Amino acid sequence: MEMPPDARLGLDIKRAEQALMTAKSSAVRAADLTVAQYAALLALAQHPGISAAALARACLVTPQAMTAVLKTLQARGLVERSAHPWHRKVLETRLTEAGHRALTAADTEAVRIERRLADEFTAEEQDTLRALLARCVQAIQQDH
Q: Which residues contact 55 (CB under 8 A, 6 or more apart)?
A: 40, 43, 44, 47, 66, 70, 93
- Digit-coded pLDDT (tens) for 47-93: 999 888 999 999 999 999 999 999 999 999 999 988 766 666 778 89
Eight-state DSSP code of residue 48: T
Asked whether the predicted pLDDT for residue 102 surpasses 90, the reply is yes
CA distances from 55 to 40, 58, 75 (A): 7, 5, 18
pLDDT computed for residue 84 by the predictor: 65
User: What global pTM score does this model have?
Assistant: 0.87
**What is the average pLDDT score of the chain?**
92
- Picking from 50, 116, 118, the residue whose alpha carbon sits closest to that of residue 80 is 50
Asked whether the predicted pLDDT for residue 130 surpasses 90, the reply is yes
